[in-house]
Structure 1
Amino acid sequence: MIESLISDILFGFTGLISIINPLGVAFVFLDRTASLSDAERRFLARRVAINAFFVLIVVFFVGTPMLHFFGISIEALRIGGGLAVAVGGWQMLNAPDTRVRMNETTSASAVPQVEPESATAKTFFPLTVPLTTGPGTMATVIALNANRTHKLSEFLLSGVASFAISGLVMLVIYYTYSRASVLARYLGAEGTRVALRVSAFLLLCIGVQIILTGFEGFLAPIVDAHAAAK
């Protein structure tokens, strides 16, 4: 049982981290919080990480029933969510270059910035959803729990794994986001600009991949039915 629990935690954690890509998104977070001080950014990173934890927990336990209630398929979630992610990545990729200083950061980017007076109000949207825990993350969480049974022992084991996975993801998000400025100082202004562009391109690719996965799931039954009818 312990071996199975550890395996589920490692599998879920690696799957979610690969989708969330906190190291890459940290540069996006840094760009969108350019007007904040390091202390304010660390506070915001903590709030975003905690929000992400609760978002993951909610999706783990009620994600599938909510989709069924509203009649939304996982394919529709992936296509719509992937489109939102891809559009965000495309806008960032084509935004004007940002100018990063070591201690104070100013931006000429067209990407919406988070100002100090509105920082707390924006910790959930857009910093947590969809920037950190977007539709791709939610679809992954739902897929991880697609085979959850109603047997008490297995349900409890799955619940423990869900909390452990969400906690580990929360820690990684906080660690990377809160130290984004340190990494930017290490890379320098030019290196940070390059990293931001690469992160934006990866965000665009992730969005396109989510869309393709959604279309694949939608078209597969149609193709199979057409092939069976021949």
Structure 2
Amino acid sequence: MIESLISDILFGFIGLISIINPFSGAFVFLDRTATLDDEGRRLVARRVAINAFFVLLAAFFVGTPILHFFGISMEALRIGGGLAVAVAGWQMLNAPEPEPAPVDHPVKPISPGAAAGKAFFPLTIPLTTGPGSIATAIALNANRTHKLSAWLLSSVASIVISTLVMFVIYYVYSRAARLSQYLGVDGTRVAMRVSSFLLLCIGVQIILTGLDGFLTPIADLHAAK
């Protein structure tokens, strides 16, 4: 039983952290918080991590019933969410290079209220826990059994996975500026462009996955006739 729990946790954590890819997302986060000071950026990183925790928990526990209630298929979730991610990546990829601020130019502090709003959209959804991670979380528990012991183990695994992902997101995002310092100005600009391009590609891939899931049964149906 314990071995099965550990296996489920490792499988879910590795799958989600690979899709979220916080190391690439750190440069997107840095770009969206470029006007904030270090304390403000840490505050936003903490809010993003906490938001991601609750988004994943919601996807784990109530994702499937919500989709069924609104009549939304997994394919529609992937296509719509992938489009949102692709548009965000395209906008960032084509954004003009920001002019470097003067040395004595003050950075902008951020209030807790502003941090909460900025952290949820677009930093948490769709840029961190987007349709790919939400669909993955839903899929991980899509076949959750109603047997009490198995349900409890699955619930514990879901909570532990969400907690681990939360800590990784906060650790990486809160140190995005330090990573940028190591890379330098030119290296950071290149990394941001690459991250934006990868974000665009991820969005397109999510759309293609949704289209494949939608069109394959139709093609199979016509082939069977």
Q: Given the two structures, how large is their TM-score scaled by the length of structure 2?
A: 0.93
CA distance in 1, matches of 2:105, 2:16: 30
1:130-209 to 2 correspondences below 5 Å: 130-209=126-205
- Aligned match of 1:111: none
The 1:99–1:57 alpha-carbon spacing in structure 2 relative to 1, beyond 3 Å, is same
Q: CA separation in 2, counterparts of 1:79 and 1:100?
A: 37
- Against the structure 1 CA distance between its residues 159 and 227, is the aligned structure 2 distance closer, same or farther, given a 3 Å change threshold? same
User: CA RMSD of the aligned region, Å?
Assistant: 2.1
For residues 142 and 115 of structure 2, what CA distance do their matches in structure 1 show? 35
Match of 2:72 in 1: 72
* Alpha-carbon separation, structure 2, partners of 1:49 and 1:27: 15
Q: Deviations over 1:160-211 (max 9, x none)?
A: 1000100010010000000000000000000000000010011011101100
User: How many Å separate the matches in 1 of 2:98 and 2:135?
Assistant: 32
d(CA) in 2 for partners of 1:127, 1:190: 24
Aligned partner of 2:92: which letter?
Answer: M
In the alignment, what sits opposite 1:227?
A: 223
CA distance in 2, matches of 1:37, 1:225: 57
Question: How do 1:58-137 and structure 2 match up within 5 A?
Answer: 58-99=58-99, 116=110, 118-137=114-133
Name the CA distance, whole Å, in 2 between partners of 1:85 and 1:106: 32
Partner residue, 2:13: 13
User: Once structures 1 and 2 are overlaid, which stretch shifts more, 115-124 or 11-20?
Assistant: 115-124
Structure 1's unaligned 5+ residue stretches are 108-113
Partners of 1:162 and 1:105 in 2: how far apart? 45
Moved over 4 A (4+): 103-107
Query: When the two structures are aligned, how many residues end up with a matched partner?
Result: 223
Code of the aligned partner of 1:3: E
**CA shift for structure 1 position 51:** 1.0
Q: Is the 8 A contact 1:34 1:105 kept in 2?
A: no
Instruction: Give me the whole-angstrom Cα distance separating, in 2, the residues matched to 1:168 and 1:87.
Output: 29
Distance, in Å, in 2 between the alignment partners of 1:209 and 1:4 is: 31
Q: Which amino acid aligns with 1:30?
A: L
